Amino acid sequence: MYICLCHGVSDKKIRKLVIEEGITDIKGIKKCTALGSQCGKCVRSAKEVINDTAKDLFKQAS
């Protein structure tokens, strides 16, 4: 599913960045993609994807 329609950034891509690059905030995602740089509507959903992924990782680790 696309989170950022303006730049074609998917939830998969965001999850990958969180898991493989250890990115845990929107700033980090913005550094690696163009997410949020146009209309900005995707930022809230992107944050949810980051948080959910980070939670899953934490659960797996504990």
Residues that bind ligand FES (CB under 6 A): 4-7, 35-42
Closest approach of Cβ 24 to ligand FES, in Å?
Answer: 19
The DSSP output letter for 59 is H
Q: Which residue has the tokens 């550094």?
A: 31
The DSSP output letter for 27 is H
Question: How far is 9 from 32, CA to CA, in rounded Å?
Answer: 11
Closest approach of Cβ 13 to ligand FES, in Å?
Answer: 12
Comparison of 14 and 18: residue with beta carbon closer to ligand FES: 14
Comparison of 7 and 16: residue with beta carbon closer to ligand FES: 7
Q: Which residue has the tokens 């891509």?
A: 13
